[in-house]
Amino acid sequence: MGNNHTQVSQGFRVLLRVLAPYIARELGNEYGKKWWQAAVLEIFYEDQKRDLPTSGDWAQLVDSLDIARCLLLFDLHWHKVFRKKLSVDHRTWAKELVGVRNRLAHLGLEDFSPSDTWRALDTMSRLAEQIDGESAEEIRDLLRTARYGTVNGSTTVTETATTTPAARGKKAGILGVGPTGGLPSWRGVIEPHPDVAQGRYKNAEFAADLAQVARGEGAYEYRDPVEFFARTYVTEGMTGLLEQSLRRICGKDGEPVIQLKTAFGGGKTHSMLALYHMMRGRITVDKIPNVKHVLERAGVAELPKANVAVLVGTALDPTRSKRPGNMPGITINTIWGEMAAQLARAAGKPEIYDYVKESDKKGVSPGSEGLKNLFDAAGPCLILMDEVVAYAKKIYGARGLPAGTFDNFISFIQEITEAARASKNSLVVASIPESDIEIGGEAGKTALETIEHTFGRMESIWKPVAANEGFEVVRRRLFLNCKDPEGRDKVCARFSRMYNENQSDFPLETKELEYKERMISCYPIHPEVFDRLYEDWATLERFQRTRGVLRLMAAVIHELWMGNDAGLMIMPGSIPLDVPNVRDELTRHLSEGWNALVDREVDGKHSIPFQKDQANPRYGSNLAARRVARTVMLGSAPTVRDQNVRGIEASRIRLGVVQPGENIANFNDALNTLTSSLAYLYTNPSGDRYWYDTRPTLRKTVEDRATQISAPDVDYEIETRLRKLRKEKPFAGIHICPASSLDVPDDQAARLVILGPADGYKASNKNNSAMTAVRDILNNRGNTPRTYRNMLAFVAPDQDLMLSLKQAARLYLAWKSIQEDSVDLNLDAAQNRETELNLRRSNETLDARVRETYCWLLIPYIDKEIDMKTIVWDTIRISGGAEGIIAKAAKKMIQNEAVITTWAPALLLMELENLLWSESDNINIKTLWEYLCTYCYLPRLASEKVLEETIRAGLNSAEYFAFASAFDGARYIDLKFNQYVSIVERSGYLVKVDVARKQLAADELKRKAEKAAQTGTTSTNAEDGPSVYPDPFGTDDGKKGVKEEDDDLPPKVEVPKNTRFYMTAQLDTTRIGRDVQQLVEEVINHLTSVDKAQVEVTLELNVKSPNGLSPQTVRTVSENCKVLKVKDFGFEE
């Protein structure tokens, strides 16, 4: 069984937190203190109230309700209680969830399907939306997780850092070559705003939030006045609004109360934001030149400074009191208290809150006279009231709220309009909704009627955005100013000439001069795009008109810009519906079946139109089939089946695809081909109108299953393949997809950590999830700090390549499920062979994708020349080659000396002298090893054995250090120097050479003195006989200072033989340390022990790198050569 039922169960838990207190509160309002007895216990059957308490405090009673009883109470009390505040849709959703809950409670082995999970969570979020918006969003997080595998949903791709021509290159679904010479592509004439071009926008940014901006939150484009107006088209309606507002604030004859009324997503809040930014006195008019004409019309020289209060109904909680930290001693209960507190803060006059203090405390409207005095004291002032109907719905029918009653709120609305009119220079602007979505149920309708009646007594009504101004709003928000007006006019003139030369192929209005002017005004978007969106798609209530168009076109423009679209304009046929982000902006307004239709019948590499383009060169050169299918989709999807006239005319299909220089007949032929090939494309009897429909038809089983595979299943398959990786030298352990830092041991062994699929690395974003994960593992093990940080390295997947990896996993799992269900699917022999072949290919592809995606090696280190504390990450790409992930990581780390398997004693001595024993004559070997494992500014050794071998090699020489088994604070025990040591104990010490020489010399003198005392002589010369101790300094054979008895005899003259030795050896570059050590032990040591031998060892190194050496390598080698006192070294071009 999968985990879809878990998602549904979590959704119910969130819904219960919303529904239980809401139901209890509303029943309490209706039935009073005995609500539990009257509205719950007396109405339930015996089995329904089993285990319920008979009494208790309010919290205990609410906690005893489960989701099943909540939904039942919601239905039983619908007519008497809940229909007053909610629409009938909420009852429908509640009834649907009863069935979902029953299925969940009696779930067998079969899990919820992905579509059922999506539907259940979607219904929960709809039910919770009007009650608690935050909880509804929490449910939508679960919904997106179920659909996309992440709470972020189908996130927008970001590929470039500038708006200059994209680096992603040409894309299959985008025109790569212009249709005619001499005409520029739209990309060369006008540029999108950077956030649109780069895909950095968020869809929520197109929904302005006045309260969020007032709090200093939200998108930068809304918070910054300059950027806000730069992207705002000041419509005629907005011009009138701003002009009247300026005249009023500046003490002229402007209207004191203005009502904004338009459809859902029509620009009410956007207009209020314009007032908010313009009236606060934070900017000069020079920075927002597109409102200069407004000031001229208003007769105002400069922008005023007004004190602004922002009251957003959806952001205010009438059930809670608020104690602002910057106004001690004040408790805000009501909306008029909130307004007075904001004005007092803005004006810097805390005392003016006293005008409403008592009325705020008692929840009673303060009266028009008190509000007038408040406005005059705070003047000039601006009060922005957004979502007032939403606030009224919250208090409708409720009693005992700190915010007062609904009647008091209506009285406040009347009084504030009267006060604004009577005051000197105050202005009240309120938004009133038109759509049923915003109005809601019975409470919303009652509140709207009352508020409209109250405002209607003295307000001016402004409609911010007219229908014919929508395209300019969209163009201004998405594009910069045109950089080549001459090129734009030339393109539009050629389009107009084409329409006039082929009048029978295009709609009649296209031959008029007015249509040419429309093209210039809409450029680079073709007017047909706006016609279809505003005339067809805007009829869908949830499309949100201008906001919906903005969301869709932002996604379209980003993809076309990044794909180097060569089209002359952005047309219906240009819209890349193969891109999920674009497709979802259309299909999110439709039923579930449209996604499958688009994938199969409209666009994408697996679609039939794509196949037709590939098979026919006449189509493929200009994407004829796909462009036709996209145009039909844009013109037909929103229509309903019972319309008398369905679909889009053939002339408008051509209008949506044909550009100057293209053959019209090719598109006619493509339309005919698709009509005969597609299962979802329909035409009327006369054959001149076309549309898509979602009536069921057969689809390929594998495509269907691939789309239904859940994101957790995909991640599990990827992790399963990663867990097959085996440990390789020099790593002591490999840790695959650790769930937390606790899964990675903190010990003295080199370990490689392979991150999970969710922790992708992106080079252009240094704060990616991979870096977050590796920092946590490097610094912690569970809740405790990690000690041995210098023993870790990491491999992370590439964030961009993860998409293709997951798609490969989905395809493999789909073919695997087909093979497992071959009997149930009744596959024949040929289908079984095809399944086996594709399963094998998809398996190989998935393995290759895993190797390609896990291509980032992340190695922590500290550059001690700069900072001894800051961790720096060496990020190395290890893609390419047929080797496995572990082998490539090991090879690269060894090559870069990020992990050391053989270490020269000279390099150990360098580290000791630089830092480790700068203030001491010795260092404990165990401590030394712990330092090497802990501190990232020290070399990373593969194991303790490497250190032991290095020490053993160094002790066999007189140049590096000595060894002692112990140190008593005064002298070293069992001191060894310039000799072979077979066992290097961890408890031992490394001792500086000069200190060791000094102690050994003192020991030798002491020995001779003791011997002389035993023989009764003080002689310390050679008559005492040769020393039984070898000379620690490697001078002669122990006979230095001995007087020969036959000194007077003439020496025997012998002719020396073999007086010179030379040697040249080729060393293995991967095992230099081993080869050098062998040469020292087997050759050089024998020669240096010869009396009076002059031994000179020279190391000659020649390196040739065709690709050049990196600056880091040059710096490291140069510094090491200087430290090691290399006489001659250098780099050449």
pLDDT in tens, 740-760: 999 999 999 999 999 999 999
Task: Report the range of poorest mean pLDDT among 13-22, 135-144, 160-169, 1046-1055.
Answer: 160-169
- Whether residue 984 is predicted with pLDDT greater than 60 in this model: the reply is yes
- pLDDT of 1018 over the 60 cut: no
Q: Is the pLDDT of residue 918 over 90?
A: no
The answer, yes or no, to whether residue 545 has pLDDT greater than 80, is no
What is the spatial distance between Cα 527 and Cα 569, in angstroms, rounded to a whole number? 10
Query: Which residues, listed in sequence order, are joined to residue 259 by a DSSP beta bridge?
Result: 430, 461
Q: What is the pLDDT of residue 298?
A: 85
Neighbours of 286 (CB within 10 A): 9
DSSP of 992-1009: -HHHHHHHHHHHHHHHHH
pLDDT at 377: 92
Of 89-98, 346-355, 437-446, 790-799, the range with the highest mean pLDDT is 790-799
**pLDDT tens column, 723-741:** 988 888 899 899 999 999 9
Q: Do 546 and 465 form a contact (C-beta atoms < 8 A)?
A: yes
> Do residues 733 and 749 touch, judged by C-beta distance below 8 A?
yes
Average pLDDT value over all residues in the chain: 82
Whether 464 has a pLDDT exceeding 60, the answer reads no
Render the burial of 755-770: b for 16+ CB within 10 Å, e for the rest. bbbebbbbeeeeebbb
The more confidently predicted of residues 609 and 129 is: 609
Q: How many residues does the chain have?
A: 1133
User: Do strands 780-781 and 381-386 pair parallel, antiparallel, or not at all (unpaired)?
Assistant: unpaired
Q: pLDDT at position 928, please? A: 93
For the chain, the structural domain boundaries read 4-148, 203-468, 479-699, 707-895, 905-1000
pLDDT level of residue 774 (50, 70, 90 thresholds) = very high
Report whether pLDDT(696) > 70. no
Give the residue with greater pLDDT, 598 vs 1053.
598
H helix intervals, 456-588: 470-478, 485-501, 513-522, 527-535, 545-562, 580-587
β-pairing, 966-967 vs 856-861, is: unpaired
Q: If you average pLDDT over each of 173-182, 233-242, 678-687, which comes out highest?
A: 233-242
Predicted pLDDT of residue 162: 39
Q: Which of 397-406, 509-518, 1013-1022 has the lowest mean pLDDT?
A: 1013-1022
Assess whether pLDDT exceeds 90 at residue 410.
no
Contact residues for 462 (Cβ-Cβ < 8 A; gap 6+): 237, 240, 241, 244, 258, 259, 260, 261, 271
Instruction: Give 117-141 pLDDT, tens digit per residue.
Output: 978 988 898 788 778 867 876 887 7
Give me 179's structure tokens: 């249709």
Residue 785: beta bridge partners?
780
Task: Write the CATH number of the domain with boundaries 203-468.
Answer: 3.40.50.300
- Give the CA count within 13 Å in the CB-facing half-sphere of 861: 19
pLDDT at res. 264: 44
Better pLDDT: 665 or 138: 665
CA distance 1123 to 1117: 10
**Residue that wins the pLDDT comparison between 455 and 161:** 455
Q: What is the distance in angstroms between the CA of the first residue and the CA of the last residue of the chain?
A: 64
Kind and range of the H or E run holding 1012: helix 993-1015
For residue 158, what pLDDT band results from cuts at 50, 70 and 90? very low
Q: Residue 449's pLDDT band (boundaries 50, 70, 90)?
A: confident
Q: Position 949: which residue type?
A: E
The percent of residues above 90 in pLDDT, for the chain, comes to 30
pLDDT of residue 1051: 47
- 40-54, 191-205, 285-299, 712-726: the lowest-pLDDT one: 191-205
Q: Do 667 and 609 form a contact (C-beta atoms < 8 A)?
A: no
Q: How remote is the C-alpha of 551 from its chain's centroid? A: 19
**What is the per-residue pLDDT across 353-378, written as a single tens digit (0 to 9) for each?**
999 999 999 889 999 999 999 999 99
Rounded to whole angstroms, how far apart are CA atoms 530 and 520? 13
pLDDT of the residue at 456:
59
Rounded distance, CA 931 to CA 912, Å? 11
Question: Is 154's pLDDT higher than 70?
Answer: no
Tell me the one-letter amino acid at 1122: K
Sign of CA dihedral 595, 599, 603, 605: positive
Q: Residue 980 and residue 576: Cα distance in Å, rounded? A: 74
* Residue 543, CB-side half-sphere exposure with 13 Å CA sphere: 20
The pLDDT of residue 1113 is 83
Looking at residue 1019, its pLDDT comes to 46
pLDDT in tens, 497-526: 999 999 999 999 999 999 999 999 899 999
Which tens digits make up the pLDDT trace of 22-66?
999 889 888 888 888 888 888 888 888 888 888 888 888 889 889
Distance, C-alpha 422 to centroid of its chain = 52
d(CA 466, CA 171): 37
For the chain, what is the largest distance between any 2 Cα atoms, rounded to a whole number of angstroms? Answer: 140
DSSP states of 549-564 as a string?
HHHHHHHHHHHHHHTT
Q: Coil, helix or strand for 736? A: strand
Q: How is 882-919 classified by DSSP, letter by letter? A: SS-HHHHHHHHHHHTTSSBSS--HHHHHHHIIIIITTT
| Structure confidence at residue 33 (pLDDT) | 85
Distance CA 452, CA 540 (A): 25
Which helix H or strand E contains 754, and what residues bound it?
strand 751-754
Of 178-187, 795-804, 899-908, the poorest mean pLDDT is in 178-187
The pTM assigned to this predicted structure is 0.43
More confident: 547 or 190? 190
Comparing CA positions, the residue from 67, 76, 61, 71 lying closest to residue 16 is 67
Cβ neighbours for 418, distance < 8 A, ≥ 6 positions apart: 368, 371, 372, 458
